[in-house]
Amino acid sequence: MEPNFVRIYKQFPAAAEYLSSIYLITRDYGYVTNVRLAEWMGVSSSAVTQALERLRRLGLVHRKRYENVLLSEAGRTLSLQVLRRHYLLEHLLVRLLDYPWDKADEEAKRLQTQISEDLADHLYSKLGGPQTCPHGNPMPGSRLEHRLLTAPNLSQAPLGEVVRILRVTEEGEQVPTMLAFCFKHGLRPGASFQILAKGKRTLHLQRSRVSGDSKAKASVSLPLDLAEHIRYEVA
């Protein structure tokens, strides 16, 4: 980690999470507002305003009043570092330490600023150069990035379609019940389901015979508000 980033983390420990969130919101939606950032992080608008002012003073964001938030060059560099380490730590926890898939995100947040670039590079090599996080979200610059970011929303899948889960979005990972529900019902990248029925609030899925996920339940009643955060492709 570069010395100036060490200083930044000491001055403002929450900088890493704010910057990576700004990057991810920009990637998914094209722009960042105070309200969207507050909703994404589960904090108040006033807390976001204060945090953005601290980030502006540290030279990590560009922002004028009532305008969208933009990362500076330094802010973007730091956000990419943090996000890469976060994804690699999730893989370390899930694949090598057999830590629960639905709990890895929170643990990785605690560790993401504590490892060096040397260790991150070692993890990347040791893990076989992963192109996504365990939940299917693409590494920045990954060859899969466009395909995964433009994949359709599961809540919009037509009846009868056999779908393959690609990712649980980063926004979805922030929903308190999301990862635990997906873990319990086998809604993980690579798992395949058929769309059986749609209710006003629920999407009914049947595990497909082509699914390679032995942990998937035979049938799932998925709340539509959670389905909004899952992306798929036709199996």
**pLDDT tens digits along 64-90:** 777 899 999 999 999 999 999 999 999
**What's residue 6's pLDDT?**
73
SS3 174: coil
Helix (H) or strand (E) holding 194, with range, is: strand 192-198
Return the pLDDT at 1. Answer: 44
Q: Does domain 151-234 have CATH number 3.40.50.920?
A: no
CATH architecture classification, 3-74: Orthogonal Bundle (1.10)
Q: Which helix H or strand E contains 62, and what residues bound it? A: strand 61-62
Domain boundaries, the chain: 3-74, 151-234
Which parts of the chain sit beneath pLDDT 50? 1, 3, 211, 216
**Distance between CA 90 and CA 127 in Å, rounded?**
11
